[in-house]
């Protein structure tokens, strides 16, 4: 079971902040944990919830063996509530139901905890409803909000939370972990650039869909170099059929971003390591001749904008069509 000591190895500032508040008896009524995928947001939320409910605490660490700890691990504790997006967003009905639940006494104590996953997906109405909930905190109610994009959350909500900023896991640490699991160092370079989560990286490594996604992204970049007039057709025949789900579409754009970053890095410093496109290859040479540094910087901004549009639920086919045409110009 994960401990604060293990969290400290990965997130020293965040863990020290929370441990200090625990030791001083000043656990906040609301936390906002913000950081990229795989930075440990869920682990920290679970560990904090366990501490609050644990029957046999050992300092800041829960015991992991009491009935409360075990039920939290299994997702069956009656006074710990998880709120996750219903479809693409967290809706006002979900917050209403949470508030209703919290009007009742705790099933086994007065302590209650709620965790809001992907808090940046709260609709405006849901966010305003949650704000009212946060404005009148109960001493024994703790809110823990998790997000990859904290700046998308209402400033009035942010101001009522203790913000814990989680840092990306250093790529070399992640890379070494993957190599220790038997992943080739070149593949480990790519996976550690995509995620900070070891389990997710190993899952991608064994996933045929991911292998196909990587191939399509490389082909698309080659298409821009050799047959830019066919890019639009390629998007409809290859890209859209393969990247169907929202998470897959985001992954496709992440890979595309890494591919163009590889080309830019070779422009700037030829001895730098690439993560998607092989550097010792005629294709890299052709790509470097096809795109100037200024064009590559512009393309990277376009891809980042496309990623934001997907987050905002813009129609995915439209996002890719626009991106394809913008890169061509």
Residue 115 lies in a domain: yes
Regarding whether 238 and 140 lie in a shared domain, the answer is no
Looking at the predicted structure, is the pLDDT value of residue 104 above 90? no
Query: Counting beta carbons within 10 angstroms of the beta carbon of residue 235, is it exposed (0 to 12), middle (13 to 18) or buried (19 or more)?
Result: buried
Q: Bigger pLDDT: 100 or 323?
A: 323
The residue range of the domain holding 214 is 207-328
pTM of the full structure:
0.68
Residue 116 lies in a domain: yes
Residue 186 lies in a domain: no
pLDDT digits (tens, 9 = 90+) for 184-207: 998 999 998 888 778 889 999 999
Written as one string, the DSSP assignment of 34-102 is E--TTSSHHHHHHHHHHHHH-SS-BTTB--S-SHHHHHHHHT--TTEEEE--BTTBB-HHHHHHHHHHH
Regarding whether 113 and 31 lie in a shared domain, the answer is yes
Q: Bigger pLDDT: 87 or 145?
A: 145
Q: What is the pLDDT of residue 177?
A: 85
The structural domain count of the chain equals 2
Regarding whether 213 and 151 lie in a shared domain, the answer is no
pLDDT digits (tens, 9 = 90+) for 197-247: 788 899 999 999 999 999 999 999 999 999 999 999 999 999 999 999 988
Residue 87 lies in a domain: yes
Residue 195 lies in a domain: no
Residue 199 lies in a domain: no
Looking at the predicted structure, is the pLDDT value of residue 112 above 80? yes
Regarding whether 161 and 35 lie in a shared domain, the answer is yes
Residue 125 lies in a domain: yes
Confidence of residue 274 (pLDDT cuts 50, 70, 90): confident
Regarding whether 214 and 122 lie in a shared domain, the answer is no
Which domain CATH number covers 292? 1.20.272.10
Regarding whether 161 and 243 lie in a shared domain, the answer is no
Regarding whether 253 and 161 lie in a shared domain, the answer is no
Distance CA 41, CA 35 (A): 7
Q: What is the pLDDT of residue 252?
A: 97
Regarding whether 156 and 301 lie in a shared domain, the answer is no
Looking at the predicted structure, is the pLDDT value of residue 168 above 90? no
pLDDT digits (tens, 9 = 90+) for 47-68: 999 999 999 998 999 999 999 9
Which domain CATH number covers 91? 3.40.50.300
Residue 178 lies in a domain: no
Regarding whether 155 and 20 lie in a shared domain, the answer is yes
Regarding whether 138 and 40 lie in a shared domain, the answer is yes
Q: What is the pLDDT of residue 271?
A: 65
- Across 276-292, b (16+ Cβ under 10 Å) vs e yields bbebeeebbeebbeebe
Regarding whether 15 and 154 lie in a shared domain, the answer is yes
Q: What is the pLDDT of residue 140?
A: 83
Regarding whether 269 and 135 lie in a shared domain, the answer is no
**Average of per-residue pLDDT values in the chain:** 90
pLDDT digits (tens, 9 = 90+) for 289-319: 999 999 999 999 999 999 989 888 899 999 9
| Contact in structure between 145 and 117 (CB atoms under 8 Å) | no
Looking at the predicted structure, is the pLDDT value of residue 107 above 70? no
């Amino acid at each position: 079971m994960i401990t604060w000591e293990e969290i400290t190895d990965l997130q020293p500032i965040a863990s020290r902040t929370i441990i200090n508040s625990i030791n001083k008896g000043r656990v906040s009524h609301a936390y906002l944990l913000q950081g990229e995928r795989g930075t440990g947001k869920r682990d920290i939320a679970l560990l904090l919830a366990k501490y609050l409910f644990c029957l046999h605490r050992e300092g800041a660490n829960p015991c992991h063996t009491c009935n409360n700890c075990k039920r939290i691990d299994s997702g069956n504790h009656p006074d710990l509530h998880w709120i996750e997006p219903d479809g693409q967003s967290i809706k006002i009905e979900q917050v209403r139901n949470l508030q209703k639940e919290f009007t009742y006494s705790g099933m086994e104590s007065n302590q209650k905890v709620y965790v809001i996953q992907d808090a940046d997906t709260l609709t405006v109405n849901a966010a305003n409803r949650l704000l009212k909930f946060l404005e009148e905190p109960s001493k024994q109610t703790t809110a823990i909000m998790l997000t990859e994009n904290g700046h998308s959350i209402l400033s009035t909500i942010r101001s009522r939370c203790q913000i814990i900023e989680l840092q990306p896991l250093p790529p070399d640490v992640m890379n070494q972990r993957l190599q220790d699991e038997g992943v080739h160092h070149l593949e480990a370079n790519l996976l550690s650039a995509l995620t900070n989560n070891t389990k997710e990286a190993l899952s991608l490594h064994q996933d045929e869909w991911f292998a196909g996604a990587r191939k399509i992204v490389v082909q698309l970049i080659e298409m821009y170099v050799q047959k830019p007039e066919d890019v639009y057709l390629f998007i409809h025949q290859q890209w859209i059929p393969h990247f169907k789900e929202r998470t897959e579409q985001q992954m496709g754009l992440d890979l595309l971003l890494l591919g163009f970053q590889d080309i830019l890095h070779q422009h700037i410093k030829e001895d730098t390591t690439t993560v998607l496109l092989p550097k010792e290859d005629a294709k890299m040479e052709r790509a470097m001749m096809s795109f100037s540094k200024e064009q590559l910087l512009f393309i990277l901004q376009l891809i980042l904008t496309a990623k934001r549009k997907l987050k905002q639920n813009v129609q995915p086919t439209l996002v890719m069509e626009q991106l394809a045409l913008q890169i061509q110009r």
